[in-house]
Amino acid sequence: DGGITQSPKYLFRKEGQNVTLSCEQNLNHDAMYWYRQDPGQGLRLIYYSQIVNDFQKGDIAEGYSVSREKKESFPLTVTSAQKNPTAFYLCASSPRTVNNSPLHFGNGTRLTVT
């Protein structure tokens, strides 16, 4: 079955460490997205990528970095510069353009930084 795989499901890190969240899709979708979900704030867009080797900042990109070296993969690095990294992170993908296409979501990674 096609889908989006996020790993791991739970991740724990010490403050000051960078951490990378994995997102892989086998849907042959061109576009991929990273959101963070916090209680009472809905989903906020961190970064998105429309094609390989290209990505754009979303609404809350500070303290995060991404890469898009392969179509199937869009890893997110939470750096030590992110002031409040503990959150639930969701990866999504969609076909070549988002217009007229809904997002498909992974199951998420819950990151806890102490």
Q: Which positions lie near another protein, rule CB under 8 A?
A: 31, 33, 35, 40-45, 48, 50, 56, 58-59, 90, 92, 97-100, 102-103, 105-108
CA distance 44 to 1: 28
Residue 110 Cβ vs another protein, minimum distance, rounded to whole Å = 12
Residue 6 Cβ vs another protein, minimum distance, rounded to whole Å = 9
Report helix, strand and coil shares of the chain as percent, to nearest 5: 0, 50, 50
**Is there a contact between 67 and 42 (Cβ–Cβ < 8 Å)?**
no
Nearer to another protein by Cβ, of 13 and 44: the residue is 44
